[in-house]
Structure 1
Amino acid sequence: MRPVIALCDANAFYCSCERVFDPTLIGRPLGVLSNNDGCIVARTPELKALGVAMGTPAFRVRHLLEQGVIDLRSSNYALYGDMSSRFMSVLEQFSPKVEVYSIDEAFVDLAGFPADQLHGIGADMKQRVQQWTGLPIGVGIANNKTLAKLANYAAKNYPATGGVVDLTDPVRQRRLMDITPVREVWGVGSRIGKRLDHWGIRTAGELSKCKPAWIRKEFSVVLERTVCELQGESCIPWEEEITGNKHQIICSRSFGQAVTTFDDLHAALVNFVDRACEKLRAQGKFSREALIMIRTDPYRDAPQHNANLTLSIPEPTCDTRRWLQLLRPGLEKIYREGFLYRKAGFMLVDLCDGTGFQADLWSEHVLPETPAMMTVMDAINRRYGKQTLKPAAVGLNERPWHMARKMLTPQYTTRWSDILKVNAKGQKYPSTFH
């Protein structure tokens, strides 16, 4: 049986989430900003039409905001994460096999459905997600992941498709590839696109006609795999079929304002350690080596001090407390007074599961275990919200390293105080913005 895969991708996901709860934004140029309200990371078609590029610094469009021409919002990760979960739960009603590729897109296994029903199933997916979550999506259907991505590109860029494209027909595949710029192929992008252009390869169709061995020689095995998929083969497995450990988990962020004291920098790193270890436990993994990083602002005309330090323990662990014991003395080694620190990070490396690792000769434990306290803490945080329980060193008050989010909307779906209020006439009134 040939594989059949649907790629479901939400349109301008961050912006669409904002519009669900504030209908006055529908039809208006809207952008969502990165951490600390720095750059635009999500745009509606209306904002794109004004020539505002992805990654544009917020200050460059401040005049448009003040004139009321555009709207900007700070990143509301709690809202986006919850809306993503709802989106994925709808897709799971169509297939037992759903691979979440990112916060706003997922691959859905449709193998076994009759070919003449695939477009209808895609339309049902689109309609149900729209009705149940308010999110507009595009659905691309094909026999492998690369072609499903290509079909999704057509679904989102050609209004006549109605947002659903079935590309299982080889004739339709060829027709679409011949008009699709090569840079729109999954995994190609701008840099590789320039090199392909040098060889006269400008469309997906021209790329599909290349010999895989030549592509591997001149480019990479990754692009060779892409070419094979454009030729109809299925080379990219489902995530659950991939064996092996992830190699690292990193939690890093730029600060809302420069950090100048040891205590504030330590509190920020404690927060990152807490989050990284929580992710580690969620994956059922352990680590015995980590890296802490501190950075000053390279764009500021001021003295610079960037430093890294590796932390090691004898046996693998996922216990937050073990890493916190090493964090403070480690930070004391690399911290220097008098500098304006703008970023810090904590990275767990060389991850392993409970079996494949080199044990410590003097350890009393044969296999690493998740401490009961960590299990209880994770359960409470899952039920009552992130960081309901957290290390005391993080502190309770607002810190300089917290993100600056001056245009943050309410957490409509995850905080009781932010739930929308509806009057008798059916008009929605959002809670006051933070």
Structure 2
Amino acid sequence: MDVAYALIDCENFYASCERVFDPSLRERPVAVLSNNDGCVIARSEEVKEAGVPMGAPLFKWEDVLEEIGAEVLSSNYTLYGDMSRRVHSILEADALELERYSIDEAFATLPGLERENLQRLADSIRRKIFRQVGVPVRVGVGPTKTLAKVADENVKARKRAGWGLGTYVCPPEPKREELLRRVPAHDIWGIGSAYEEKLHEKGVVSAAEFSALPDSWIRSEMTVVGLRTAWELRGRSCLDLELVRPDRKTLVRSRSFGERVESKENLRQALAKHAQRTAEKLREEGLVAKGIKVFITTKRFGDPPHYSNGAAGSLPEHIARASAFARASRRLLEPIYRQGLGYKKAGVCLYDIRPARPHQESLFGRGREEDEALTEAVDQINREYGKETVGLAAAGLPGGEGNLEREWTMKRQKRSPRYTTQWDELPVVHA
């Protein structure tokens, strides 16, 4: 084969990131919580073995976690995002091409070597990431992206059984047939619940049986998407790496509040903060937006009142300027705010997004050039000294006083330090 596809999958990523900087956690179960410390969203192997499911409400599983001696932590997305960037930067040195599939997964193309040499290369990548970042990874390699996913799942199964080194390269035919017989049809990458039901009705229970179905039946019952999946399982590459990010249609930023928020001023602060973060994200991706929508909601369940509403508007031109988004969010809040309600969530959605171009859209528009120097200066300060070093006063101050204090922030009572991005939270070593 000309190239091979590899799936590099960080193991228990959030828990692994926490263990890198806190050695005391390496022999303890670790559970990481969602926003406002509500549900378990990441689990070490020990927590999984204790039966704690993904998304488990903390209050229902607190006794189990305490019984196994688990360390329960708030989510630390700043740390996880930075560690993800470090892993991907290492992969870029060994991969021919790289697709950042998610925060803890990446697809890469590798040279089309013999299986033994691919195995050595995969082992080398795994060791390098662990040595330089401290995060354990699995590496599955195959002639297609789907078979690389199958190889990764095989590594996972072998490690659960207590053997295997964390890498696996798909064998050539006919030995690949044996591997595919061990893969349940519902575990095939890209097979959803609707297709799973069709395969069950036809008596198909494994990936091997699925790949052996006639192309005409697959195309008729599962569209061209299912047919491509079958071809991929047979070793015919149909899915290229997504090296270019698909055009973004919308950009949403929202958070649940740690406590119910009643005052309009606190809602204004929260929306201004979301406007600031969406503007930063736009600039990171080289985009601008013209449409903006804000939304607010009370709790969805339990005793009334229940209320949810939103309002949308359009700006004079496409921009990525936080102050303009914040002013628009303040204006759009007015018609939807209802006094006396306890709000649990607020958010901002940007739409009508396109790549930034250096020109003035309208006769009376300000033009992007006027804002570039200021926004670049703000971004540079925040990159160098940490997020929120400079921001909108309308968003309040973290840890501030008086009416600027953020009373609407999320609960993160168990968050670990942001070891890699905040000077005052760097790990301290006592020699």
TM-score (normalised: structure 2):
0.90
- Change over 3 Å in CA distance of 1:192–1:378 after alignment to 2: farther
Deviation at 1:67, TM superposition (A): 4.1
**Unpaired segments of 5 or more residues in structure 1?**
425-434
Deviates more, 1:360-369 or 1:274-283: 360-369
Farther off after superposition, 256-265 or 86-95: 86-95
**Distance in structure 1 (CA, Å) of the matches to 2:224 and 2:251:** 25
Residue 379 of structure 2 corresponds to which residue in structure 1? 378
Which whole-Å CA distance do the structure 2 matches of 1:195 and 1:38 have between them?
36
- Structure 1 equivalent of residue 323 of structure 2: 321
Q: Match for 2:140: what amino acid?
A: G
Shift of the 309–224 alpha-carbon distance from structure 1 to 2, 3 Å rule, reads farther
Shift of 1:216: 4.1
Q: Which residue of 2 aligns with 1:430?
A: none
CA contact (8 A) 1:318 1:370 kept: no
Aligned mates of 2:240, 2:337 — CA distance in 1? 44
Q: Quote the residue 1:6 is aligned against.
A: 6
Distance 2:371 2:143 in 1: 41
Gap change, CA 1:115 and 1:62, over 3 Å in 2: closer
Q: 1:296, 1:5 → 2: CA distance?
A: 46
- The one-letter code sitting in structure 1 at the alignment partner of 2:42 is A
Is the Cα–Cα contact under 8 Å of residues 95 and 108 in structure 1 kept in the other structure?
Answer: yes
Q: Name the residue aligned to 2:388.
A: 387
- Partner SS state of residue 373, structure 1: helix
The match for 1:37 is 37
Matches within 5 A, 1:87-102: 87-102=87-102
**Bigger shift: residues 70-79 or 211-220:** 211-220
2: CA distance, partners of 1:213 / 1:367: 53
Deviation at 1:247, TM superposition (A): 1.0
Residue aligning to 2:123: 123
Per the alignment, residue 217 of structure 2 pairs with 214
Q: 2:228: which partner in 1?
A: 225
Partner in structure 1 of residue 199 of structure 2: 196
Distance in 1, matches of 2:110 and 2:375, equals 39
Structure 1 partner of 2:426: 419
Query: Is the Cα–Cα contact under 8 Å of residues 271 and 326 in structure 2 kept in the other structure?
Result: no
Whole-Å Cα distance in 2 between the matches of residues 189 and 26 of structure 1?
36
Out of 401, 404, 407, the position equivalent to 2:408 is: 401
Query: Residue 379 of structure 1 aligns to which amino acid in structure 2?
Result: Q
Contact 2:253-2:274 within 8 A present in 1 as well: yes
- Contact preservation (8 Å) 1:143, 1:168: no
Cα gap change, 1:187 to 1:252, in 2 (>3 Å): farther
State the shift of 1:197 in Å.
2.3
Q: Which residue of structure 2 lines up, in the alignment, with residue 429 of structure 1?
A: none
CA distance 1:27–1:180, change in 2 (3 Å): farther
After TM superposition, the structure 1 = structure 2 runs for residues 142-291 of structure 1, keeping only pairs within 5 Å, are: 142-159=142-159, 160-167=163-170, 169-190=172-193, 192-241=195-244, 245-291=247-293
Structure 1 counterpart of 2:406, which letter?
A: R
How many Å separate the matches in 2 of 1:216 and 1:81? 39
Answer whether contact 1:10 1:135 (CA < 8 A) is retained: yes
Residues 97-144 of structure 1: per-residue CA shift (max 9 Å, x gap): 222111111112213545441100000111111122221110001122
CA contact (8 A) 2:76 2:418 kept: yes
**Which letter does structure 1 place at the counterpart of 2:189?**
W
- In 2, distance between residues paired with 1:418 and 1:361? 46
For 1:368 and 1:349, how far apart are their aligned partners in 2?
22
Q: Secondary structure at the match of 1:405?
A: coil
1:336 aligns with 2:338: yes
Q: Distance in 1 between matches of 2:223 and 2:392?
A: 45
Give a deviation string over 1:25-72, Cα, whole Å, max 9, x none. Answer: 224332111111111111122111111111110001112344453321
- Paired letter, 1:395: G
The Cα offsets for residues 310-340 of structure 1, whole Å up to 9 and x where unpaired, read as: 1202322112222222211111011111111
Residues 146/285 of structure 1: CA separation in 2 closer, same or farther (3 Å cut) = same
Seen in structure 2, the aligned counterparts of structure 1 residues 96 and 192 have a Cα distance that, compared at 3 Å, is: same
Match of 1:54 in 2: 54
2-side partners of 1:370 and 1:4: how far apart? Answer: 45
Q: Normalising by structure 1, what TM-score?
A: 0.90
Deviation readout 1:83-102 (Å, 9 max, x if unpaired): 21222222222125222111
With over 3 angstroms needed to count, the CA separation of the structure-2 counterparts of 1:6 and 1:64, relative to structure 1, is same
Counting matched residue pairs gives 422
- 2:256 and 2:215 mapped to 1: Cα distance? 41
Checking the alignment, whether the CA contact within 8 Å between 1:27 and 1:46 is kept in structure 2 is no
Say if 2:385 and 2:422, in contact at 8 Å, map to a contact too: no
Indicate how the Cα distance of structure 1 residues 406 and 361 shifts in structure 2: closer, same or farther if over 3 A, else same.
closer
